[in-house]
Amino acid sequence: MTSFQIGLISVAVVFLLLFARMPVAFVMLVVGMSGFAYLTSTKAMFSMAVQTIYNTFASYSLIVIPLFVWMGYIAFHSGLSSRIYDATYKVMGNLRAGLALATIAACTAFGAICGSTTATAATMSAVALPEMNKYGYNRSYSTATVASAAILGVMIPPSVIFILYGIAAEQSIPKLFLAGVFPGILLMGLFMLVAYGLALRNPELAPPGLTVPWSEKFRSIINGGVEVVIIFIAVMGGLFAGLFTPTEAGAVGAFATLVVALFRRQLNWRGFVNSLNDSVRISAMIMFLVAAAAIYGRFMAITGLPGGLARWAVELSLPPVAVLAIILVIYLILGCFIDALALILLTVPIFFPVAVSLGFDPIWFGVIIVLALGMGVITPPVGANVYVVAGVDRSTPVMEIFQGVGFYLLAIILCIAFLIQFPAIALFLPNLLN
């Protein structure tokens, strides 16, 4: 067998094991090491594996992952997320579907201080669902809104998925962060249109909430919004101005969030320790995934499979947009079974050369991929966000939540279509750094 054929077989083996519910990191690690040993030697395989794992965990650039994760957990344990929701709730709560609109806006704001979609889903479920249940919102409607809007947590920078894409594709993380801003705002607007449209068609889904005086609305905005703006400017402003690197931005963001929490006197010792525990647990999982994916990527490189697929895609008679559509369908299907973090590390080494060979901008392609991954976290059977929301609101069956996400899924597809037609939506801000 040729190395190319071995690469194809390895892909089939990986997905076969994943469908058998094997842990993603271990699958990539075992298949990557076994394939590398088969094509080279056992000694070379162990040398490569040791070096790759050490370089991953000792990487200076990857320090940004635990820092941004910790930033989000500080916000959660200090009650900052609750103040964000309270502000949006008081501003929009009296409108038709107002609490759903407030939840979508709060997910967008929380995304500015949290780079994880599942963390956003868990946080917003805890603070938003009790209010929507209180005012008689339909359970399927409210839970689907939270699960879908949590995707905004990785579109609005900082974003762990953008960081992983930047590492896997060797692209500028500041440019990727900036590229996610306008698409994230666009997606927020489309989600709001869906939530409002559904409530307009069936008023029983979302009754109006409490009417709040304008004076109290302004106070809530100052109380919950100023802190987010300060933290966001501290991180993104410094990055945009070139004052520090993405890694240093993670440290600045974590420090700024910690200072805000301490200034508010709403982060006790137990919350501080819990934020560290949660951050270490999530960061260790992500880092192990990165190391395993790097080993599998080294194996894929010597098979020549990524380059072969890129040449094959270029030689097809299909237009580049059609090839992109095929890639997106593949992501939609795989996203139904594989976690977003693992999927981006598994597929970028394969699809990125194809995208570049077809003339797609690598930064723009990263935004498209993150949106495609967003579809995966709300589609069955994996649908990580849906299971997180169901875990918080145990009174709503999982299948009811899946039934409610359909129109939000269409909103993501529409957002991707806008970006394909108008790439400047994603590229305007990154081009300012050139």
- φ and ψ of 93, to 5 deg: -60, -25
Q: Which amino acid is at 15?
A: F
Q: Which of these ranges, 41-55, 149-163, 226-240, has the smallest mean pLDDT?
A: 226-240
Q: How confident is the model at residue 134 (pLDDT cuts 50, 70, 90)?
A: confident
Residue 361 banded pLDDT, cuts 50, 70, 90: very high
Looking at residue 381, what is its pLDDT? Answer: 61
**How many whole angstroms separate alpha carbon 307 and alpha carbon 422?**
28
324 SS3 class = helix
pLDDT at 314 over 70: no
Give the mean model confidence (pLDDT) for residues 187-194: 95
How many Å apart are CA 1 and CA 204, to the nearest integer?
62
Quote the CA–CA distance of 328 and 146 in Å, as a whole number: 24
Contacts of 61 (CB under 8 A, 6+ apart): 167, 246, 247
* Contact assessment for residue 343 and residue 291, using Cβ atoms and an 8 Å cutoff: no
From CA 123, how far away is CA 75, in angstroms rounded? Answer: 10
- The domain ranges of the chain are 3-431
Helix segments in 135-180, DSSP class H: 139-149, 152-155, 160-169, 173-179
Query: Which of the four pLDDT bands, split at 50, 70 and 90, describes residue 267?
Result: confident
Does the pLDDT at position 93 exceed 70?
A: no
**Residue-level pLDDT at 195:** 93
What are the C-alpha distances in Å from 94 to residues 74, 82, 90, 97, 148?
Answer: 30, 18, 8, 8, 22
pLDDT at 420: 94
Q: What is the mean pLDDT of residues 96-122?
A: 81
Q: Tell me what pLDDT residue 434 has.
A: 64
pLDDT of residue 339: 67
- pLDDT of 364 > 90? The answer is yes
Q: From CA 313, how far away is CA 168, in angstroms rounded?
A: 20
CA distance 212 to 410: 33
Residue 198 has pLDDT above 80, yes or no: yes
Exposed/middle/buried for 104, CB within 10 Å: 0-12, 13-18, 19+? buried
Mean pLDDT, residues 226-245: 76
Percent of the chain with pLDDT over 90: 15
Residue with the bigger pLDDT between 416 and 319: it is 416
Query: Over the stretch 378-433, which tens digit does the pLDDT of each residue have?
Result: 887 667 788 778 877 777 788 888 888 889 999 999 999 999 999 999 999 888 77
What are the Cα distances from residue 265, in Å, to 120, 278, 295, 310? 23, 21, 45, 54
Q: Which of 380, 381, 373, 362 is nearest to 423 (CA)?
A: 362
The DSSP result for 255-274, as a single string, is HHHHHHHHHHT---HHHHHH
Mind listing the pLDDT tens digit for each residue in 165-188?
A: 988 888 988 889 889 999 999 999
Average pLDDT of the chain is 82
